[in-house]
Amino acid sequence: MSSPEADEPVLETLPDRVADRLDAPTRAVLADPGWKRLHPVTPVLRAWKVVAAVLVVVVGQNADDILRLDLPGWALTLAVLGGVLALALVGAGFSALSWRRTRYRIDTSEGVGAVHVERGILWRQQRRAQLDRLQAVDVVRPLLGRLFGLAELQLEVAGGSGSKVSLAYLKEEEAQRVRNALLAAAAGLVVAEGEEAPEAPQREVVEVPPTRLVTSTLKSGPTIGMVLVLVGIGIGCWFARSLTPLFGSAAVVLGLVSAVWQRFSTGFGFTVADSPDGLRLSHGLLEQRSQTVPPGRVQALRLTQPLLWRRSGWWRVEVNVAGYSSESASSSERSTTLLPVGTVEEVGLVLGIVLPDLATGDRSPLDVVRAGLTGAGTDGGFTAVPRQARWLDWISWRRRGYLVTDHAFLSRGGRVVRGLDVVPHARTQSLGLTQGPLQRRLGLASVRLHSTPGKVTPRVDHLAADVAARLLREQTRRARAARAGSGPERWMTR
C-alpha cells in the first residue's frame, strides 16, 4: 500500500541541506527517453567550416596559378564568388545530411544513466557515455552560434582518446536544461517522473580583472618569445635589405601571435564559482565557455609563477581532468586552466573548493600553499632533497621537496619559474621510481606520481635513494586507502 506522499515529487537521494540550496529549476529532460535531434540551424553553422577548410587548401596550393590567370577582374571575381557559392551549397548539403542522421537520447532506465548519440552517413556510429563516468560538462557558445542563440554541449567522460561526446548545436535554454539534468543524474539526484531537474545555485569566488589579464599576458613567455623573434627578424631584414627573413619566418610568427591571442581570449572575463554540482568556470572573448567540473573530478593540479609575475605575486593554476587530455592543444588550453592569473589569496579560495582538505596539523590550507609556492628547504614541513642534488640541479635544488598531508601529495620545485604540483591521494593512478647513472653514483633517485594524462606531471627529483624508496611504499599505501574510502562517484549520495 502506497503512502500519501507517494504521489508527491521527491528528491530521493538528495540531502535536505542540499535540497534547500537548489532553486530555479529547469525543465526535466530525463523524463523523456525518446530520441531527439539537434537544432535545424546546425547545418548552416557547420557549412562555413567546410567552405573555409576547402578554400584554405585550394588557395594555399594554387595561389600562383590563380594569379596567373589571364582573365578580366570582373570575370575573376565572378569565378571566385561562384566557387565559394558552390562550396557553400555542397557544404550545406553535406551538413544537412549529417544533421538528418544525427540524434541523441538520455536514458536513465538502467539505473546509472547514459547518453546515447547516433551519427554517420556512410558508416553509422553509436556512442554511449555513462553518467557515473562524467568528468565535466561544458556549454560552449561560439561567436556565430550566439547570433542564432545556439550553444554546443560537450561532455567529458573518463576514457581514452575520443571519449568526448559533443551535441552541437542546441538552443541555449535547451543546452542548459540538458546540462542540469545530466549533472543531476550523475550526482545521484533522482527526480520524480514528470517533474523538473533543479539547477544548482552558484557563489562567485574569483573574477579576473581585464587589466590584470592584459598585464600578465604581456609579461608571459609567449609574448616575450614573440617580441624576441620579431626583433631578430627585423635585424635580419635590415642586414638582408629585403623582407625575405620575414616571409621565411611567417609560420613561427603566426604561431606565437596565435598563442598570445589564445591566452588573452581564453582568460577574458574569467570567473570561478562554487556550486553544489561542482566547480563552475566561465570565460572567453569570442567563444564563450561555461565549464562545470563535478566534485572530486580534478585529478592533479599545478601552480606556476613566471619570473616577471613575482613582484605582483600572481600565479597560474592548471589541472588534469580525465577526458580533456585527448583534446587538441588549443582546446586543452581552454579546458585545463583553472585560474589564468590570480593572487595567493585567490589561489587559496580556488584550492579551498577543489581540495578542501589540504590543511595539515595546525597549518591552514593557505599556509600550506604559501610554503609550497615560495618556500625553500624544509620550510612549511617539506622534505628537502640532499645537498648532493646540487650537482644535477645547481639552480633550483634548494627549492625541490615534497609534503604529504592527510589527503594530498605536494611537490615543489623551480627557481626561475616556480612550481607546485598537488595530487589528491585518491587520484593517484600509479607510482614509479627512476634512477639514472649519475643519480645512482650520487645515491639519489626520483619518484613519479602518474595521474590522468595532461599538463600536470607530478614528480620529485633527486631524493636520497632510501627516502625515495620509503616514499614510494608509503604513498602506495596512502593511495590505496584513499581510493577505498573515497565513496561513490555519485557525489550527492555520499
What are the grid coordinates assigned to 219, written together?
Answer: 609579461
- Amino acid identity, position 203: R
Cα–Cα distance for residue pair 51/47, rounded to 1 Å: 6
- Amino acid identity, position 21: R
Residue pair 347/206 in contact by the 8 Å Cβ criterion: no
Question: What pLDDT shows up at residue 349?
Answer: 87
Residue pair 94/161 in contact by the 8 Å Cβ criterion: no
Helix, strand, coil percentages (3-state) for the chain, rounded to 5, are 45, 25, 30
Q: Beta-carbon neighbour count of residue 399 at 10 Å? A: 23
Q: Beta-carbon neighbour count of residue 43 at 10 Å? A: 20
Give Cα 119 to chain centroid, integer Å: 26
End-to-end CA distance of the chain: 30
Mean pLDDT by 10 residues, the chain (494 residues): 37 37 38 74 76 65 59 67 75 79 78 78 80 84 89 81 79 88 74 58 91 95 89 85 75 85 92 88 92 84 93 92 61 75 90 78 76 87 92 92 90 92 90 93 94 86 94 93 71 52
Q: What secondary structure, in 3-state letters, does 133-147 show? A: HEEEEEEEECHHHHH
Q: Beta-carbon neighbour count of residue 305 at 10 Å? A: 22
Query: Angle, to 10 degrees, between the axis of helix 73-100 and the axis of helix 42-67?
Result: 150
Please, what sign has the CA dihedral across residues 281, 282, 287, 291?
positive
What are the grid coordinates assigned to 113, written together?
Answer: 544513466
DSSP helix/strand/coil, 287: coil
pTM here is 0.79
Of the candidates 285, 346, 301, 316, the residue with the CA atom closest to the CA atom of residue 219: 316
Cα dist from 261 to 8, 233, 327, 455, whole Å? 53, 20, 19, 20
Quote the strand ranges of 108-164, DSSP E.
114-119, 125-130, 134-141, 150-157
Question: What pLDDT shows up at residue 256?
Answer: 86
Question: What pLDDT shows up at residue 151?
Answer: 93
Cα–Cα distance for residue pair 175/345, rounded to 1 Å: 34
Cα–Cα distance for residue pair 57/62, rounded to 1 Å: 8
Question: What pLDDT shows up at residue 22?
Answer: 35
Residue pair 402/417 in contact by the 8 Å Cβ criterion: no
Cα dist from 160 to 164, 423, 448, whole Å? 9, 20, 21
Cα–Cα distance for residue pair 276/400, rounded to 1 Å: 36
Question: What pLDDT shows up at residue 191?
Answer: 53
H-type alpha helices, 128-209? 143-147, 172-187
Strand order in the sheet with 430-434: 430-434, 444-450, 459-464
**Given its phi and psi angles, is residue 189 left (phi above 0), alpha (psi -120 to 50 degrees) or beta?**
beta
